Amino acid sequence: MAQNDTSKIEIKDVGRTFPLNTAASTASREFTALKNVNLSIQKGEFLAIVGPSGCGKSTLLDILAGLSKATTGEVLIDGVKVSKPDLDRGIVLQGDSLLSWRTVRKNVEFGLESKKIPKQERRAISDHYINLVGLTGFEDHYPHELSGGMKQRVALARALAYDPEILLLDEPFATVDALTRENLQNELLRIWNKTGKTIVFVTHSIEEATFLADRVAVLTANPGTIRQVVEVDLPRPRFGSDIRSTPEFGHIRHTLWQLLQHGGAHA
């Protein structure tokens, strides 16, 4: 998916602190999770975020989603400040977060019901996205009847079904086996290629980030801030290819590895 010059998301001087109260002291202290994060994400871009454990990757995604508020700075989507969750953003978390008492179809239609979409239209939309993630034939199955990878496909279909402009994904494939993870990565790229969504993808895996993204934002250790943004100048489409075995892929992966090795110091 080619990028254009239109900024979809603007992250401006974002910081996030959390109060700390220790038993040894009544004095209030603060933990700084994020500090002075600045980033512009283009419409239709696939941006990955990597960084050391605890560097604030998920906190930043929560702020983008409107689930958490920045202590300082702001996030703008199409020039409008983010203040709360909205249906212009779809969220897929680590673990599937499916409703156990609802079938695959009913899980996918959950957001559509809240938008008061008529039943027949909901059916057509859910059929489309269930097919898109490769789960046709499993519409009436419940989550406990599905594998981990299939559950993640349902979660992705649910996030896509109400047609958000932005997809926010927080390590969505971290809990599945290596082969399933690779298959889901390919599936996600196929979907992105078809839909043109703007995607922000948090991951611990530099290989996953290199394979998926147009650019990779590397966060420092606490407090998390942007150390460097790395361009992933690899040809697309990448799904179904052996691009991971190329010297170019290895070079970018190594660049990210080096940045993470020195992630405690600001660039």
If you average pLDDT over residues 145-173, what whole number do you get? 90
User: What residue segments make up the domains of the chain, in order of their start?
Assistant: 7-88+164-261
17-26, 184-193, 199-208: range with lowest mean pLDDT: 17-26
> Tens of pLDDT along 30-80?
888 999 999 999 999 999 999 998 889 999 999 999 999 999 999 999 999
pLDDT of 264 reads: 47
Q: Which residue has the higher pLDDT, 153 or 213?
A: 213
How sure is the predictor about 3, in pLDDT bands with cuts at 50, 70 and 90? Answer: very low
Place of tokens 């010059």: 5
Task: Please tell me what DSSP assigns to residue 2.
Answer: -
Mean pLDDT of the chain: 89
How much is the pTM? 0.88
pLDDT of 27 reads: 55
> Tens of pLDDT along 173-203?
888 888 888 888 998 998 899 889 999 999 9
How sure is the predictor about 245, in pLDDT bands with cuts at 50, 70 and 90? Answer: very high
Mode of pairing for the β-strands spanning 198-202 and 166-170? parallel
Is the model's pLDDT at 266 over the cut of 50? no
Using CA atoms, how far apart are residues 159 and 168, in angstroms rounded to an integer? 9
How sure is the predictor about 263, in pLDDT bands with cuts at 50, 70 and 90? Answer: low
CATH top-level class for 7-88+164-261?
A: alpha beta
Q: How is residue 60 written in tokens?
A: 């930043």
pLDDT of 260 reads: 92
pLDDT of 19 reads: 87
Q: Which helix (H) or strand (E) holds 233?
A: none
23-27, 150-154, 177-181: range with lowest mean pLDDT: 23-27
For residues 200 and 49, the answer to whether their CB atoms sit within 8 Å is yes
pLDDT of 107 reads: 95
> Tens of pLDDT along 130-141?
998 889 999 999
Edge-first strand order for the sheet with 89-92 is 89-92, 166-170, 198-202, 46-50, 215-219, 226-231
